[in-house]
Amino acid sequence: MADLAFTDNDGFYTVVDVKTHREDTKFNMPNLTSVERLARFYESDSNIFCLILIRYVVKGTKVTATEVTFTPIEFLSWECLTVGALGWGQIQISNSNNIKIIDGYSRKKWMLDLCDTLLEFYPKEIQKIQERIGRFEDVKAYWTTRDDVWK
């Protein structure tokens, strides 16, 4: 989940994950964290999951950072986030070239937004799984009728 962690003088424990994005690559949707892991981590109000997002360009062997974002995950707008189908679900940045921050956004509101997102996401996953079940019922029927020429 994190590249490093620290505790500040107020007693808040922050874990930090770093994501880098080369600006001239068109499509980048990095996984930020698992929804389940984050839900457990945020059961404590003194835990904070932070991200450092570094956008950069390369000229020769010189790296130039064009934009650096350091933010708790709950300050990232859901307009630039999505959920990817891996395990319980992975929070992803939908496009690394378009990151929207809402400074000071409420964790409670953000977590409720997350829940609403998942309550839309999971039924779609169920639908996908139903289609996959149907597909492999067809595959099984096909293979069941085949002569076994490999015996």
Partner 1 sequence: MKSTFYYGSHYLGVADGIKNYINSSPEFLSQQTVGSPRAVGMRLRHYWQRNLTLFWVIGAPSIQVTLRGAQWQISRLLTTMVSILLLM
| Chain residues that interact with partner 1, rule: CB under 8 A | 3-10, 12, 18-20, 22, 25, 45-46, 48, 52, 54, 56, 58, 60-65, 67-72, 75, 103-104
Alpha carbon distance 120, 21 (integer Å): 29
**Among 77, 81, 84, which Cα is nearest to 124's?**
84
Q: Where are the alpha helices (DSSP H) in 29-106?
A: 35-41
Other beta carbons less than 10 A from residue 89's beta carbon: 20
Nearer to partner 1, 29 or 129 (CB): 29
Burial 72-86 (b: 16+ CB within 10 A, else e): bbbbbebebbbbbee
Q: Quick one: which H or E segment has residue 125?
A: helix 107-145
Nearer to partner 1, 48 or 81 (CB): 48
CB of 37 to partner 1, least distance (A): 20
CB of 132 to partner 1, least distance (A): 31
Nearer to partner 1, 9 or 145 (CB): 9
CB of 107 to partner 1, least distance (A): 9
CB of 33 to partner 1, least distance (A): 16
Nearer to partner 1, 20 or 97 (CB): 20
Residue that the structure tokens 């989940």 belong to: 1
